[in-house]
Amino acid sequence: MMQTRMDPRVALLATLVATLLVSAPALALQAGSGHDYGGLELSGNLAVHGDVVHTMDGPPIRDGLVLIRDGRITYVGPAADRMHTADMVVLRGAVVTPGLVDAHATLGLTGITNQPGDQDQLDRSAPAQPELRALDAYNARDPLVAWVRGHGTTTVHTGHAPGALISGQTMIVKLRGDTVDEAVLVPEAMVAATLGDGGRAQGEGKAPGTRAKSVAMLRGELVAAADYAAKRAAKPDATDRDLRKEALARVLTGELPLLVTAHRHQDILGALRVAEEFDLRLVLDGAADAPSLIDELRAAEVPVLVHPSMMRTGDASGEKANASFETAAILNREGLPFALQTGFEGYVPKVRVLLFEAAIAARFGLPFREALESVTLAPARILGIEDRVGSLEVGKDGDLAIFDGDPFEYRTHCLAVVIDGKLLSNEAR
């Protein structure tokens, strides 16, 4: 079992007492209170010591040091080799990891109250609305943004939710700033679609009402977008601009991946079929039945954003019934590209915590390093932002999380979270 693995044991043995030392100003930690959503914006150059530093770029470093200047990482290595300089604020903890990257969520669109006024993840007026931008919906001040940041998440792929054939676009944000403009990393990341029961239109007589109709309509939208793109290219002045088709045209060129939420095997195959027909960049989302389609997924070279480990299996559709605590472990064993995510929640918990989902995946067979990778470097690669985030390497963004022990343990805490070299959370959670 995991307890015999080296990394968490070393981490735990190395720190019996949680310590996060900040030289100036001195900051006190309150274990787990969890009510103060306000972050502390401590700017400057940081020297972050960890008894263990998981860089995700090589083996973990014992007694490691990460230096951050002007928001970027300037040094990662043994502390003994390079001591920090006097102008640096010093942070210390048992375990340092890269800031966590959530491969898919609806954060900032699905607000904490869960009342209609703060639920902006889905408009049901039409089955296909790829023109809806996440940029126009993201609420950087929703308390849940600070909540998940306090648990180590620094980058989130968020946007329109599953629930319509094409619900809209997604974006990638850093969990920083009071406005979407301060937060945004990639303003238009993917176009989100749903196949299967989740993509069905609500109400009798509304389309799509069946799986086959969903695929037919998706193909129809893509055909229309291809036709539009061709006409616009040939005669720009003779064709009115159409935001909807424009968005899908960018999917057809491969500029934007098509993110397809599908759990049942036939819906996953439907997504693969459409992706092959139109030569799309497909990213699969959810995919409870993925373990039964290993060969097909391998052949299609499609990355999978695995359903949250603790996703409930018992919704009315039964589509998630085959979800497993070990979906990620199975994909890992088979060598398929995957990342973990927090997904969409319609009730409580209104937002899942990425760290906790990775922990359960680790408990049920995903080795420690791979579990950590599935919430750092793996999603960064799938999202195409690995040059910025996902690992602690010189030149990358100064995004990291500091823990008082094995990050996955129930009884340890995330002590501090740094984004672009700024200490944005210093409350032990």
Of the pair 75, 356, the CB lying nearest another protein is at 356
Measured from the CB of residue 384, what is the shortest distance to another protein in angstroms?
Answer: 28
> Exposed, middle or buried: residue 187 (CB in 10 Å: 0-12, 13-18, 19+)?
middle
Q: How many CB atoms lie within 10 A of CB 36?
A: 13
Parallel, antiparallel, or unpaired for β 191-194 and 153-159?
A: unpaired
Report yes or no: 167 and 104 within 8 Å, Cβ to Cβ: no
Q: Which is nearer to another protein, 80 or 348 (CB)?
A: 348
**DSSP per-residue codes, 61-109:** EEEEEEEEETTEEEEEEEGGGSPPPTTSEEEEEEEEEEPEEEEEE-TTT
In the complex, the smallest distance separating the C-beta of residue 8 from another protein, rounded to whole angstroms, is: 8
Q: Taking the complex as a whole, how short is the minimal distance between the CB of residue 111 and another protein, in angstroms?
A: 8
Nearest approach, Cβ of residue 158 and another protein (Å): 15
**Cα–Cα separations (whole angstroms), residue 426 to 149, 162, 231:** 10, 33, 54
Nearer to another protein, 7 or 188 (CB): 7
Q: Quick one: 43 or 317, whose CB is closer to another protein?
A: 317
The nearer residue to another protein, 16 or 321, going by C-beta atoms, is: 321
Question: Cβ 327 to another protein, closest distance in Å?
Answer: 8
Token code pair at residue 299: 């052949």
167: three-class secondary structure by DSSP: strand
> What distance in Å separates the CA atoms of residue 157 and residue 186, rounded to the nearest whole number?
9
CA distance 81 to 64: 9
Helices 211-234 & 243-252, crossing angle to 10 degrees? Answer: 100
- Which CB, 247 or 288, lies closer to another protein? 288
Binding site for another protein (CB under 8 A): 1-3, 8, 31-35, 111-115, 143-144, 147-148, 289, 291-292, 310, 312-314, 318, 321-326, 345, 347-353, 356, 359-360, 362-364, 408-413
Task: Cis check for the bond before 349: say yes or no (omega within 30 of 0).
Answer: yes
Nearer to another protein, 14 or 186 (CB): 14
To another protein, the closest distance from the beta carbon of 251 in angstroms equals 31
- In the complex, what is the shortest distance from the CB of residue 250 to another protein, in angstroms, rounded to a whole number? 33
